[in-house]
Amino acid sequence: MTTPIPSPPALPFLGHVTQIDREIPQNTFDLLADQYGEIYQLNLITRTTIFVASYELQQELSNEKRFQKTVIGAMEQVRNSMGDGLFTAYPGEENWGIAHRLLMPAFSTAKVRDMFDDMVDIASQMLTKWERFGPRHVIDPSEDFTRLAFDTITLCAMSYRLNTFYSEQTHPFVQAMADFLAECGRRANRPPLVGAFMRGANAKYEEDMKTMDKLVNELIEDHKKNPTEKQDLLSIMLNGVDHKTGKKLSDDSIRKNLITFLVAGHETTSGLLTFTLYYLCKHPEAMRKLREEVDSVLGGEPIELAHIGQLKYTSACLREALRLSPPATGRTVRALEDTTIGGGKYAVPKDAVLAIMTAKCQMDPKVWGEDAREFKPERVYGENFEKLPPNAWQPFGYGMRACIGRPFAWQEAHIALASLIQKFDIVMHDPSYTLELKQTMTIKPKGFYIHAIPRKRSSSPVAVSLSSALVGAPSMPSKSYSVSSSENGDVKAKAEPRQKLYVVYGSNTGTSQTFAQRIASDAPSHGFKASLGTLDSITEHVPTDGPLIVVTASFEGEPADNAAHFFEWLQSLNGNEMENVKFAVFGCGNRDWVRTYQRVPTIIDAALEERGAKRLHERGAGDAQAAEFFQAFDEWERQLWKKLAEEYGIAVDDHATPASGIHMKIVDLGTSRAAALRQPDADLGRVVENRLLTSPNAPAKRHIEFQLPEPMTYRAGDYLAILPHNPSRDVHRVISRFGLSPEQQIVLSSDGPTSLPVDKAISIFSLLSGYVEISQPATTRDLRALLSAESSGATKAALEDLSAAYAEKVMAKRLSILDILEDHPDIRLPFGAYLEMLPPMRVRQYSISSSPLHDPQRPSLTVSVVEAPALSGRKDPFLGVASTFLATLRPGDMVQLAVRGSGAAFHPPEDVSIPMIMFAAGSGLSPMRGFLQERAIQKKAGRDVAKSTLFFGCRSPDEDFLYGDSDLKEWAELGIVDVRPAFSQCPEKSTGCKYVQDRAWQDREIIKYAYDYQNARLFTCGSGKMAQGVKKVLTELIKESKGCTDDEAAVLFERAIQGRYATDIFE
């Protein structure tokens, strides 16, 4: 007996058309596959299509005796231009057979090899353009790869030079083609009656086809007027005779096939190269291996034909990119008879249309493993590729209708990728960019920009952009200093700093960047001219003409996004490459991650020394959850300047009057309000819902939903990064303390690198609200600055007292600079100096508490609102910056936000038969709710979902049992989760268990069975204290089970959690 093919709920007459994303239909199809599994069915008004998303079904549908390629939907609309060309012909059309027999030999490996020189010619034009524009230029690789592929196909196949690299604008054909293909997709999902009334769209559609025809007619006429001895593709089409029928191609068929080659010949190749470059930028180890191969094979010589076969890792990178993101997202077949698929599980009637989702089939965990979504070229390298099951990799289609131009595209892609890697270091313009798509008939990355930095350059870093690379800092001679010269003795100078200093950072959340900014800003007053940038900006080019100061963090033992390439490259060195480098390292971390605390800074510090660099100052370490975090940095920085002064013979006059590097000019006294509308951009999301989850007796926790800007989306387990505003109360406190008006318009300028908005008018309120952290505890450095300002003797004594007992009286009480200034109104501190003391506003990352299967554009957050008595003893409560900001949002408010990916392990297993064991307390439930919502939707879609277990801690069932009477109750009844609560204030209602770890120990047999017999994955989200408690329980469970010692159990725990346990710990 067969199983019905599942289908989402549909609307009368319209079917499922309204559920499909208009801009990126592929996102909808992928999400439905995540929800329904290997097969589902959609009613698309004019047709019903069965979608398949597993290797097993792809393999079965690759039997051309049972299933045949069909042209339907958007492809049928494309026929309006391409007709019976090779790509869009119906099965059995005569012209397809003639063209196929004539042109197959033209795309043989031998013929494509003859095109090598022309391909290199066009690739060199692109590389020359990148060199000419320089490393600061922001490159859209998708656009330039489109030019590359377009020029290559016209030169190699038609002996015609379009020379698009010599034009500012893209060729009209390219834009017309993109618009035409996009409209074909929309027409396919539009009721015919509606389409008839869309006169504007129809007119544009006709005009686009005329534009494409115009180029094709020009190519044909040029070829006829200027015949060539080269037997190129167009020559064969014009003069060739089919040996089977004795016929030549008609003029109309030539035109249609030329359009086919121009579209298919450049659209997919440009997508392949752009995706490959994206994945390489996100995976530094793969980029390093590719660079090593290119250097080994090509050396410093131009690429030659013989090199192509030696570029095996290059091939693997291209294959893996095609596996994860095939530009042609699928192919469609029609059943030739009544049949069944899936081992007889699903009945398929004759003429049923089935769409094979190539990417989903190529990420089937049964073939590719649980890490199938990860970019790992090794899995398709050499013999590993040869060992794959039949038809597991099909980005070029299959059988008689597979891509005829595969050898052409493959050679072209190898030439382009190897040549650009040989010449350039590729750096993402935005290191935190995550993949977004744009779609016509194919898909490409959207909003992906790079910088191409020449590899053959001096050791001094090259500045490219403020977001990613070193930015030179103008000098700021705010103190007197002298430079010692061994030949001339002491030479006193009140000149600008000349000694270069390089400050680089690795930072995701902004703390390391803040510290690096502080060093760069201080540099001129210590006699140094600073440059500031990311660690990735100095990969392969570590500066030697000045000290290198590294400030970096670890994120679960991994480097920050903007330090990953440098980290990977540094570890790959094995000589004395750093012998002329002088350096110092400060590491940021959190001891709650015991196994990986300070891992990245420690490795960088040791590797630099091992490779011959001279350490100028001992590695500093700051623990973000410790009271002494900022004090540790301040003390390390103070000692750093002393060591640098000794090393470079720079003496600073410590008695000089401190001067602010921030200068202020009043532009508007605030008597009139300037109203300016802020238009939403790609980073603006809209608040949809904001509701309280807890009772009035418990600390507030809120459920907040956002509408993301298109095409931003997310995965369950990802973060939503929020750029908040300071509480208005605190902003007004600052304004009052300095006697300003909130509406005053000012212009800031700076003598050094700064995160403040400079050289443009801004109101005092906007500046204080959005650009600086007001509530951060004062640092020891801040206290020294306040002491140097003019004040009374009593105030100076009070400040000395705070400095002497910093940990107790400042850090433990979270005493801010503002608190101190309010307590001591006689401190005469300029507003500019105050601004300079404040750290820049940081983004706050919150775990998303929903699944994209519910709505890919509408993530939710579950947020604890921080409002508590001030530790400083002040009458006003302490307000958390981001949580207060979020709590006050109303539906319709616009918020600057971004989706940030979590660690690869912090997502629900792809295999829904694998259960999850989850430990969470309070708002730590957030990602677990997303996981469970995803499993619930999959269960409702008919998939066989394993039951998971949730250990959840809160105060009581009546106060803050989040989602306890709604989602969790529903999902428990659905059978996808067993909720095991622990109520800290009424443990009698949770079997005597007060905390999560207590409940986990009591129910340890459930954990043991799920881990040992069901291959369960474990997740923890919550405070460091709770996470340590869970770790202790799991270690004790091992100890009890194995009968071993504490030390042995600890070792076994570390071994057991590899690939099976993921944590997300917050302060």
Cα–Cα distance for residue pair 341/369, rounded to 1 Å: 23
Q: 472 falls in which pLDDT band (50, 70, 90)? A: very low
Write down the residue that tokens 């030390």 correspond to: 1047
pLDDT at 665: 59
Task: Classify strands 48-52 and 353-357 as parallel, antiparallel or unpaired.
Answer: parallel
pLDDT per residue as tens digits for the range 70-102: 999 888 999 999 999 998 999 999 999 999 999
Write down the residue that tokens 């699944």 correspond to: 851
What is the dihedral sign for C-alpha 712, 716, 719, 723?
positive
- Which residue spans within 58-102 are E strands per DSSP? 67-69
Cα–Cα distance for residue pair 216/939, rounded to 1 Å: 52
Rounded mean pLDDT of 546-563? Answer: 88
pTM, two decimals, is 0.81
pLDDT per residue as tens digits for the range 624-676: 767 677 788 988 999 999 999 999 988 755 444 444 555 555 554 432 222 22
Edge-first strand listing for the sheet containing 684-692: 844-847, 719-722, 894-900, 684-692, 701-707, 860-864
Q: 594 falls in which pLDDT band (50, 70, 90)? A: low
Cα–Cα distance for residue pair 117/170, rounded to 1 Å: 24
Q: 461 falls in which pLDDT band (50, 70, 90)? A: very low
Torsion of CA 176, 180, 181, 187, to 10 degrees: 160
* Whether the predicted pLDDT of 466 surpasses 60: no
Cα–Cα distance for residue pair 605/603, rounded to 1 Å: 5
Strand partners, 1020: 919, 1063
* Whether the predicted pLDDT of 464 surpasses 70: no
Return the amino acid letter for 544: T
Cα-Cα end-to-end distance for the chain: 55
* Whether the predicted pLDDT of 139 surpasses 90: yes
Angle of the 199-225 helix axis to the 74-82 helix axis, nearest 10: 40
Are 284 and 242 in contact, with CB atoms under 8 Å apart? Answer: no
Rounded mean pLDDT of 590-594? Answer: 71
- Write down the catalytic residue from 268, 314, 329, 884: 268
169 Cβ contact list (under 8 Å, min separation 6): none
* Bond into 8 cis (ω within 30): no
pLDDT per residue as tens digits for the range 241-258: 999 999 999 999 999 999
pLDDT at 295: 94
Record the tokens describing residue 1040, joined without a space.
Answer: 């009890």
What is the dihedral sign for C-alpha 965, 967, 973, 978?
negative
- Which of 413-417, 604-608, 628-632, 928-932 is predicted with the least confidence, judged by mean pLDDT? 628-632
Is residue 361 part of the annotated active site? The answer reads no
Half-sphere exposure in the Cβ direction for 587 (13 Å, CA): 24
Mean pLDDT across the chain: 88
Rounded mean pLDDT of 169-185? Answer: 88
Comparing 46 with 449, which gets the higher pLDDT?
Answer: 449
Q: Percent of the chain having pLDDT more than 70?
A: 92
pLDDT per residue as tens digits for the range 924-955: 999 999 999 999 999 999 999 999 999 999 99
- Write down the catalytic residue from 281, 317, 361, 403: 403
299-to-304, 426, 469, 989 alpha-carbon distances in Å = 11, 18, 27, 71
* Whether the predicted pLDDT of 154 surpasses 80: yes
Comparing 490 with 1056, which gets the higher pLDDT?
Answer: 1056
Q: What is the DSSP letter of 828?
A: B
* Whether the predicted pLDDT of 454 surpasses 70: yes
Cα–Cα distance for residue pair 451/465, rounded to 1 Å: 8
* Whether the predicted pLDDT of 967 surpasses 90: yes
The candidate with the shortest Cα–Cα distance to 720, out of 615, 849, 840, is 849
pLDDT at 657: 43
Are 75 and 42 in contact, with CB atoms under 8 Å apart? Answer: no
CA 738 to chain centre: 41
The candidate with the shortest Cα–Cα distance to 912, out of 978, 860, 977, is 977
Reduced to 3 states (helix: H, G, I; strand: E, B; else coil), residue 483 is strand
Is residue 396 part of the annotated active site? The answer reads yes
Record the tokens describing residue 913, joined without a space.
Answer: 């038969």
Strand partners, 52: 39, 356
The candidate with the shortest Cα–Cα distance to 664, out of 579, 745, 576, is 745
Strand partners, 478: none
Cα–Cα distance for residue pair 65/80, rounded to 1 Å: 29
Cα–Cα distance for residue pair 314/305, rounded to 1 Å: 14
- Write down the catalytic residue from 51, 261, 396, 919: 396
807 Cβ contact list (under 8 Å, min separation 6): 627, 628, 631
Write down the residue that tokens 């007992």 correspond to: 805
Strand partners, 444: 438
Neighbours of 717 (CB within 10 A): 26
pLDDT at 666: 55
Record the tokens describing residue 350, joined without a space.
Answer: 């004759």
Cα–Cα distance for residue pair 489/401, rounded to 1 Å: 82
Q: 592 falls in which pLDDT band (50, 70, 90)? A: low
Is residue 403 part of the annotated active site? The answer reads yes
Task: Classify strands 894-900 and 719-722 as parallel, antiparallel or unpaired.
Answer: antiparallel
pLDDT at 660: 52
* Whether the predicted pLDDT of 681 surpasses 50: no
Cα–Cα distance for residue pair 754/513, rounded to 1 Å: 11
Record the tokens describing residue 297, joined without a space.
Answer: 């094979």
Q: What is the DSSP letter of 839?
A: P
Cα–Cα distance for residue pair 560/94, rounded to 1 Å: 58
Are 423 and 455 in contact, with CB atoms under 8 Å apart? Answer: yes
